[in-house]
Structure formats: C-alpha cells, structure tokens
Structure 1
Amino acid sequence: MLPSILLAVVALFFMIKWWLETKKTKSLNKEVLAQKNELGLNKDFSDAILRNIDAYIVLANRNFLVEKTNYYSLNSEKDDCVLHRVGELLRCKNALDSGACGTHENCKSCPVRASIERCFREKNSFSRLEAPMRLYLSDDTDNYVDCVVSVSGAYMVQNRDEKVLLTVRDITRLKKVQEELEAARRVAEVAGEQKTAFLANMSHEIRTPLNAIVGFAGLLSNASESERNSYVEIIKGNTNMLLQLVNDILDMSKIEAGTLEFIYSDTDVNQIMRELEGIFRLRLEEADSPVRIVFEPCLPVCFIHTEKNRVSQVLSNFLSNAFKYTKEGSITLGYKVREDDIYFYVQDTGAGIPAGKVDKVFERFMKLDAKKQGTGLGLSISRTIIKKLGGEIGVFSEYGKGSTFWFTLPVKPFDFLPLQQRTEDVSETVEFNETEYDAGAVRRTILIAEDMDDNYLLYKIYLEKHYDLIRATNGEEAVSKYLECNPDIILMDIGMPVVDGYQATDAIRQLSSDIPIVAVTAFAYDEDRRKVMSRGFNGYLSKPLNKDELLKMLHKMGI
C-alpha cells in the first residue's frame, strides 16, 4: 500500500512541476513575443525617423567607416552594401579626388574630421559644428557645389565597439538667409546714419541762406539806396543757393525712389557748351575774378541723342566746383569724340584735391572745404545721372595744381536735326527787353488764376505797369472771369482750391481753343511739363517765377 502512495505522490509532483514549467514557458514566450513586437515597433519608428528627418544620420566606427546611415533612402539611391568612409559617402570632393577619405592634403585641416577624432579620443560629444564643404553632385567631376553643413556627433559604445553617431545637416540656404538679413541690417543702420547726417546737413545748409535772406530782408526798410542794392544782391544770391538746395534734395529723393526722369532728345552739344560758357563767364565777371573760362569744341557741328537737361546739369556741377576752387588761371570746358563714346571734361587750375579724398568726392555730403557753399550732393547726383545714361564718371587731380572732372556717354554724334526741332530751339532763345514796350500801345488784359496773395502781388509788381490784370483765386472763378472779361491771355496756377488748373483749362477749352493759357506752377519736373503741355496749355513756367522768363513767355504768345 505504501509504495503505491509514494508512487502517486511522485507522479503528482512531476505533474505539478511540468504544469508550472509549461506555464512559465508560455509566459516567457509571451514576454519574448511582446519584446520582439516592441523591438519591431522601435525599428519601424527609428527607420521612419531616418527616412524622414531632414539630415543625414551616420553611424561611424573609429576607422570612419559608416556602418549605418539614412543617406541612401534620403537620396532615393540603392545601398551598395559596401562600407564607405564618411567623406566618401557624402561625396566630399577632397576625399574622392584623393581616392580615400583622410588622405587629401586638406583633410589635415578639416574641422569635421578633427571633431570626430576628438570625439573618440575624449569619449565626448560635440554639436552644431558649422563647416564649409565642397561636394560632388554626381559622378561627373565637373559637377560639384560649395555648401555649409552643421554637424553634431554623439559618442557611444555598442558591443564593446566605439562608435560616433553623426547628424549632418545642409544649412547653406539658412546661412544665405542669415547673411542677407545681416546685410539688410547693416544697410538699415547705414540708412539710419545717413538719414541723421542728411537731416543735420540739411538743417545747416537750409538755415545758412535763410539766415542771410531773413536778416537782410529785415534791414531793407531802413537801408540807404546803396545799401539796399547791396542787400538785394545778397538776398538774390542766397535765394538761388536755397533753390539749388531744394532741387538737389528733390533729385536725391527721386533717385532713392527710382523715379528720376530722363527725356531723350536730339541735342546740340556745342550749344550746351556755349550756353554754360556764357553763364559762368558772366559769374566770373560779376565776381571780378581773374580766371578765364575757355570752351574747346571738338567738331563744328555735333548732335547726339541724349538727355539734354541732365547732361547740362552734370557739366554745370563740374563748372560750379571749378568756380569755387579756382582763384587764378583758367577753367576749360570741352569734349572729345572717341571711337566708342564721347568724352566730356572740365579742367581747372584750382586748389586740386588731396590724394586721400579723390576717391570720396562722389559720395553724398562730401565737401572738400566746409566753409564753401553747397550741399555736397551735386557730384553724387551727377554720378547717378551718368550711370543712368550708361556712361562713366571720374576725376583726375593733383593737389595744389588743379583737377579734371570727366564723364563719358556711349553715343555717336550726327550732324543734323529735324527742321521742327531747330525751329523750337531758336524760338526758346528769343531775347526780350522790357524797354521795347511801346508807350502808346494798347494795353492787353491778363487773367491771373492764383490763390496765394503774395504770389499775385509779385505778378502785379512785374506786370501792372504794362498790362491790365484780373485775378481769380481758384479754377472755378477763373472760368467765370474768362467769360466775363474776355482776357487776351490766362496765367493759370495748377494747384488751386475748389477747381484746379487742369479742370479749369478743360472747361475753358470747351469754350475757346484760341485763348493762350500758360501754366505757372510749382510742379517743376520735365514729366510735369509734359503733362501740362498735353492738357491744352500753350506754355509752361515753373515757380519760383522769374520776371525775365515771364516777359519772354508773354512776348512769345504775342501779348
């Protein structure tokens, strides 16, 4: 009986042991399966990261051999299952040119290679190393690109083998954007500094002539006749300087806005030169200067197609500077026709320019002598004009002996002009003398549309001795006064209240196409002149109003 019981107990023990081991095995299998699934998920997750991350992931050993990478998947290339070194995998030009990564002369100074070696040596990591690289884009050795990469490296040990996990990101575009932003920041800073300098210069340059104008205008009432004449000349000189300053500022604003206008026409070069020679000869005589001005024509007849007013403006700037800095000797104005261009020059025997300042004379607000009048803008504007015309500009100077300012225009001369153009040019040069008025002539009536009282008073002073004047203070009143008084001519301001000069002229032209209408306006650019002459006006005068020009215009209109 006892052996049977013992046998049953042993059998039960083994059954229980089998059951427990079977249960444990199932549990272990389940656990292994779960870990396997987790490993699979982790692998899928890591593979997804490698495929989609915007960077190359490179696992390299101490020999720089790449054991794992996402390079092929990111570039849609087939893995050739060959272990390449880091430089060879990334198509480093130095590595491929030398045949193996690390053998090129430049590899000794490669910051990426040095950082990886230090990472192994110090068992440490590094991050965001920015380095330039030259990479081949294909097997074609002529097809490569320069770029900037950001490299990070993490030291690790796998199965007792040392590895470095590298992250390589192309940041060329980012660096370019950063450089552009930095350049924009510097430009903004310079612009801010220039704006401050501009305001400071303009405050000084505007107040200087204004001080003389206001001061001497206040002295006129109590001055003797000789003093009054002297004061008037001072006021006129400073007024002209202030007007030139305003013109320079307006030109600079148009240059900044990219709207500086250019109107090309067939232009008589010799006529421009003779007119400037006459103007500056008169200035030298008025200043009682011993300096001679000489015009050296190259051809007896020389016409070119260019922007006449702008060419004249540049030459006038050159002559003004020569006038300021030349105390004796001569100022020579001339041009030369060369194979590919025309070379204009103004040569003087004046003070010259110190060697250290020759390269700066065309910069804004550059004045060689702070005591001399001027804004320091003329030469800067001249440079912009000549570049716009497709030419070059420069200066030769020897300090103490004189300077030669020059510019070129890439144009060819020709020796004819259309007859109509010749006629217009001659008509604009008609001289008029106020003393030619016939005392017994019938007085003509002028309708003046002007809303400013002071401006109308100036008209009265200029014209009431010889004409009957009628005033309209706005465009609507101008139309009514025309119907009521039937004037012989209308001087029409443009910027008036109620109805402006354009609208008033449109209305009057519906009533008469014969009445002469002359625009007198502060809109003083050539584009404004074109607009005026296309809107039914017979003539154009710009403000500030010049008496001689006004009388010449009336004479031209037959009034």
Structure 2
Amino acid sequence: MFKFWKNLSVVKKLYVVVGGMALLIAIELGTLVFALSTLSSVRAFVGGEGLWSKAQKNAIHSLSSYIFTKEQHYYDDFHKYMQIPLGDRKARLELMKPNPDLNEVRAGFIQGEIHPDDIPGVIRMLQRFGHISYIQRAVVAWTHADEKLKVLIQKAEELRVIFSKNNVDQEQVRKILAEIDVLNEQLTAYETEFSSVLGEGSRWLENILMMLLVLAVITIEGTGLFLTFSFAKGLNRSLLELNHATREIGQGNLGITVPVHSQDELGQLAQSINKMSHDLDVNISQRLLAENANQVKTLFLANMSHEIRTPLGIILGMTDILKDPQVSDEEKRKYLDVMESTGHNLARLINDILDITKVEAGHLEVEFTGVHMDAFIEELNSMMHVKALKTGSMLRFEVLASVRNLVIATDRNRLKQILVNLINNALKFTHDGTVQVTVGAIHDEMFFEVSDTGIGIPLEQQGKLFQNFFQVDASSTRQYEGTGLGLVLSKKLAKSLGGDVILKRSAPGEGSVFRLTIPQREIAKAEKPAVKTPQEVEAMTEQLRGLDVLVVDDSEDNQVLIEHYLKKRGVLCEFANDGTVALQKTVDKEFDVILMDMQMPRMDGYQATRELRERGYKGPIVALTAHAMKEDRERCINVGCNDYLTKPIESEKLYETLIHLTQVQTQRNTLAKAK
C-alpha cells in the first residue's frame, strides 16, 4: 500500500487527500444521520407504547364506569379505546411473519395512532434490530400484555351478558371486577417492563452511536493529518533534491544522481534528469569514439571492397582468357577450376555477411537433428583435406573414444560452418606445418579443439579477436586476406547452438588453439547417413527425364544456366520473361513444374503465383530468388509456392527439389484416381 501511494502521480495524491477527507466526512455525516434516525425511531416506539398504555387505562376506566352505571356508552367507549392496542397487536403479528405485508403493518400502527411519519422508522428499527436483546425483551413484554388484553376483552363481554339479564348476579359482577383489577396490575407491570427495557436500550444505543461519532472524528482528523504530512514531506524532499541536482549539473558535475523515491511526476522528473546527465556524459565520451568508429568503418569498407573485387577480378580475367582460341583444353580446365574455387570463396564471403546480419537481427535459423559424429567427422576430413594440400600443411583428426559412434542433437550445417571457419583460419596462418582437430567429450559437453603450428597471435590482440571486422593485421600491406567476420560469426553460431568458441592459448611463433564446445544432447537411435554413389545419383536424376518445366525468369543468363542443368537430365524446358507471359503459357499448356523468379518487370513472381492459384493451377511452383532471409521464404510459401530455391542455383539442390515435388505430385494423382 505504501509503495502504491509513493508511485501515485502528484495530482492523484491531491485527489486522494481531498477525496479521502470528503469520504470520511460523508461517513461521519452518514453515521450522524443513522444515529438521529435510529433514536427518532426509538422515540416513536416509546411514544407508541405510551399511547398503548393510555388507551388501556382509559379502556379499564370506561369498563369500571359501565359496571357501576350500566350505561351502554361506557361499554362502547371501552371498545373504542381498545382499538389502539389492538392495532399495534395487528402490526406486531404481521411483522413476526417471514415475509410481512408492510401495508398491513402500516395500517396496524396507524390504528394504534402512531404518527404516519414515524411508522417507517419504527418498522426499520424492528426489522434491523429485532435480534438485539433489548428489542427482544420489549417485544416479549408487549406480547404478554396483548395476551392480557385478550382476557380483558373476554371479561368485558361477560359483564355485558350479565347486565343484559333482568336479574343481575352481583356476586359474579364483584368477582369479574376483582379479576379486572388483577389484569390492570399485570398490564401495568408489563408496561413498566416495556418502558424500562427500551430505556436501557436507548442509553446503550446512545453510547454506541457516540463512540462511532468520536471514532469517525478521530479517524478523519488523523487520516487527514497523515496524508497531508506525508504528501508535504515527500514533495519538499523531492524539490530540494531536484534543485541540488540541477545546480550540480549546471556546474559541470555530470556524475550526479538524483534519488528516485517514487514513480510520480517528481520521480519521473528525477529519472529524466539522471538520464539527461548520463546521456550528456555518454555523448561527450562518444565524440572521442566516433572518429575511431569512422576509421574502423573506412578500413572495413576498403577491406570488403578488396575481398569482393579480388575474386571478381579473377573470374572476369579468367573469362577473358577463356575467350582466347589459342588456350589449350588443359589450360581451360585449369582456369575453370580457379573460377569455380574463386566463385565459392565469393559466395562464402557473402553468406558470412548475411549470417552476421541474421544473427544480429535475431533471424538466424537453427535446426536440431540427429548427427552421427563418425560420419560427420569423416565428411569434414574429406572436405578440408584438399584445402590442406593446397597450403602445404598437414591436417590431422584425432577422435577420442568418448565420441565414437556417438549421435547428438545439433544443427549439422551450422556446426560444419563453425569448424570449416576455424580450420580454414588455422590453414591460412600455417605454412608447411600441422593443423590438428581433436574431438572429445567431457560430461555433457562436446569439444572440438583446432590447434596449429602457425604464426600465433600477439597477447595484446587476443582480446579483440571476436569483434566484428577485427583483423590482427589491418594494414594495406597485410599478407593474409580475410574480412574479419569468420571468428565473430563462429562464436555467434556456437552461442545459437548452446555452446561457445574461445581462444584457448596462442603465442607468436608457437601457433594457436581454438576450442569449440557444444552441449552433448544425445539421441537414443539414429541411422548413420548414407553417402550416395555417383551411380545412385545418376539413377535418381533419371526420374527427371521427360519432365516438362516452365522457367520464368527475366535474366537470359539465368535461363541459359537453368536450361543447361535441366537438359543435361533430359528435362523439356520452355521460358517466359515475366509473370504475364507465364500466365498466358499456362493457359495454352499444362506443365509438370514451374520455376518462378520472384523479382521481374511488369508482373513479378508473387503476383503471378497468386493469380495461378486463383485460376486453379494445382501443379508445383518453385520460387527462385536471390533473397535468402527467413521472411523471404515465408512470403514465397504464403503466396502459393511449394518450395524455395536461392540464387546462385546449385544443380544438385535443383534436381533434389524437382524429384521430391514430382514424387509428391504423382502420389496425389494416384490418390485422386483411387477416389
């Protein structure tokens, strides 16, 4: 509650103080009104008892006069006076029912000559406080008195019968008169008890109401003083602190901090002053960092330009050489191998940049599957062995017994990407030396240590290794190429797998040891992935022969490349330069598969795919795009594509996708015919 009060806005605190006082005053007034109305009801109840008692005495007096004079009007007066207690009796009996008729109750009290304005209060009092002992005792006395009145009426009737006879039995008259005197004494006792009990109850109620009024006054005054004092104290303290802080900031002390006691306007102002002071301090510091950041950016752009232009220059130069008719077939093969290797390096560079972007944007996808470590390490060894031969270094793998035949759950491609980066770095900085990859497990963690006998890393540079675009040698005369993305990407990828990459040790001239760790999430059973032979691959792609494919792409170069891949496997091809032409061709002919470029003039692939689906086209559509982010794939699938391929297109991936889609389509057609 105290925390809630502190965090209220200043305006709301004022509302609470004023509103609380108003509420308490209203409660006090309500208590006073309740006290007055209750005491007024008691007064009316006591007044009704007085009328009841007076009527009873007058009735007995009239009955006595009737006995001595034998005159009828005295007997009539007796019954007239008796109507008052009889009316009260009728009201009492009705109120004792579970669901009383209040109109009957009012009629009874009016007959008892209670003032109409007092009747509602008397009814409320009897209903609300009927369980209180004082009221219960008064009602009991009232009930007993009503029973005696009933006997009195019977005696009066007996006298009337006696006096109606010619011979009056005086002895009987005297006997009845004595009984009437006894009844009068009993009624007087009940009336006295009724008045005494109500008097006690009135004094008790008066004390209770007085205590309530005193308590209400004390509560109002105490609460008002507390709220006012608390609000004034907090306001004064905050204003003094804010005044002191602004004076210090004005004098240049940016390290000053204003205490934040609440979340109201004063607390928010304190937070704003603290933020302003911190921002000023940071901005002054950032002025010095800005120049350094610009230098890093300039160096990175220069490095990236070099890293991209170098392979492009090689590819373009080799292309120009291949145009020379004097170049022999052997030389052409050598140049083509260089172009292929350079193209792969360029693609890897672009992929690294994209992966860094994905990681920092939180869009990196990891897919955990069962990875058979023996097969994985064998594949990695085969792939990196060729690179090791080119560098003249020896590459060795040491697999400890703890991981043999082990199957773990991880992302195979990301794990391979990390290890390829680490091994490439080791080979790049090692000449005529040894690079060793040690694989083992400790407890629930797997580790991969990549050690080399290369140039090593100076101690002062080791703390910066995992920073974006950092290179040990960033000069224009540096010997080793690279973007500075490999290590930082490897570390981020390892984090996404639940592990880490660290530099275990390094020294100039003694080499380096990098250690990758990932969680050892075991899978009970998993088959070792089978490696397809060239004959098996040839048999699979044989399924594509005779397939009719529409290639929709505005690039003639892409059309030539895709046509080469497809015709090599006996696939029939037709081409469309944009979505509009593609729609027209699907009207004239039914194709087995459509390869749809997503970015084209006039009508792009998204709109063309959407219209094809709206027209009822059921065949497979594969998106072709250079956009390789997760949201790009989702967008293609959402408009109606069955699958997604990124550019540059890999022939194996293209073949696998076409085989899979044609198999699925064949199964669907078979099921449709069966139905």
Q: 1:291 Cα shift?
A: 1.6
Unaligned stretches of 5+ residues in structure 2: 1-231, 238-243, 262-271, 664-675
> Given the alignment, which residue of 266, 290, 310 partners 2:369?
266
Aligned counterpart, 1:415? 523
The answer to whether the 8 A contact 2:544-2:571 is kept is no
Cα 1:74–1:486, aligned 2, differ >3 Å: closer, same or farther? closer
Separation of aligned partners in 2, 1:439 and 1:261: 36
Cα 1:444–1:172, aligned 2, differ >3 Å: closer, same or farther? closer
1:221 and 2:329 aligned: no
Aligned counterpart, 1:291? 394
> Given the alignment, which residue of 323, 329, 333 partners 2:437?
333
Aligned counterpart, 1:525? 629
Letter of the 1:400 counterpart: G
Within 5 Å, which residues of 2 pair with 1:186-335? 186-222=288-324, 223-255=327-359, 258-268=361-371, 270=373, 272-284=376-388, 287=390, 289=392, 291-294=394-397, 296=399, 298-328=402-432, 330-335=434-439
Separation of aligned partners in 1, 2:435 and 2:345: 22
> Given the alignment, which residue of 551, 561, 574 partners 1:448?
551
Q: 1:558 Cα shift?
A: 5.0
Q: 1:184 Cα shift?
A: 4.3
Deviations 1:313-372 (A, max 9, x none): 222210111222334454333443334643333233433334443333323334456333
Separation of aligned partners in 2, 1:338 and 1:319: 22
Deviations 1:188-245 (A, max 9, x none): 4443333222221122112111221111211111122122112112222221222222
1:381 and 2:489 aligned: yes
Aligned counterpart, 2:130? none
The answer to whether the 8 A contact 2:544-2:659 is kept is no
Local SS of the residue matching 1:554: helix
1:403 and 2:512 aligned: yes
Separation of aligned partners in 2, 1:291 and 1:327: 9
Unaligned stretches of 5+ residues in structure 1: 1-71, 78-89, 91-111, 113-126, 139-169
The answer to whether the 8 A contact 2:593-2:619 is kept is yes
Q: 1:379 Cα shift?
A: 1.0
Cα 1:403–1:490, aligned 2, differ >3 Å: closer, same or farther? same
Deviations 1:370-408 (A, max 9, x none): 333322211122233334555432112243343221233
Letter of the 2:654 counterpart: L
Local SS of the residue matching 1:382: helix
> Given the alignment, which residue of 244, 260, 283 partners 1:181?
283
1:489 and 2:593 aligned: yes
Separation of aligned partners in 2, 1:389 and 1:436: 36
Name the TM-score, length of structure 1 as normaliser.
Answer: 0.61
Separation of aligned partners in 2, 1:447 and 1:414: 45
* Higher RCO (CA 8 Å, separation ≥ 6 residues): 2
The answer to whether the 8 A contact 1:353-1:403 is kept is yes
Deviations 1:113-165 (A, max 9, x none): xxxxxxxxxxxxxx948598999999xxxxxxxxxxxxxxxxxxxxxxxxxxx
Q: 1:469 Cα shift?
A: 0.9
Separation of aligned partners in 2, 1:303 and 1:246: 31
Separation of aligned partners in 2, 1:548 and 1:341: 35
Aligned counterpart, 1:67? none
Q: 1:529 Cα shift?
A: 4.0
Cα 1:132–1:528, aligned 2, differ >3 Å: closer, same or farther? closer
Higher-Rg structure is 2
Of 176-185 and 376-385, more deviation after overlay is shown by 176-185
The answer to whether the 8 A contact 2:550-2:595 is kept is yes
Name the TM-score, length of structure 2 as normaliser.
Answer: 0.51
Q: 1:543 Cα shift?
A: 0.9
Separation of aligned partners in 2, 1:74 and 1:210: 70
Local SS of the residue matching 1:415: coil
Q: 1:280 Cα shift?
A: 1.1
Aligned counterpart, 1:550? 654
Aligned counterpart, 2:181? none
Cα 1:183–1:250, aligned 2, differ >3 Å: closer, same or farther? farther
Aligned counterpart, 1:104? none
Separation of aligned partners in 2, 1:136 and 1:483: 75
Higher strand share: 1
Cα 1:433–1:73, aligned 2, differ >3 Å: closer, same or farther? closer
Cα 1:73–1:524, aligned 2, differ >3 Å: closer, same or farther? closer
> Given the alignment, which residue of 353, 369, 393 partners 2:501?
393
Letter of the 1:397 counterpart: S
Higher helix share: 2
Aligned counterpart, 1:541? 645
The answer to whether the 8 A contact 1:205-1:374 is kept is yes
Separation of aligned partners in 2, 1:206 and 1:331: 27
Aligned residue pair count:
402
The answer to whether the 8 A contact 2:434-2:453 is kept is yes
Separation of aligned partners in 1, 2:436 and 2:297: 36
Deviations 1:427-477 (A, max 9, x none): 997867776599999633221111111110112222334222100112232
Separation of aligned partners in 2, 1:186 and 1:131: 17
Separation of aligned partners in 1, 2:415 and 2:535: 27
Q: 1:310 Cα shift?
A: 3.1
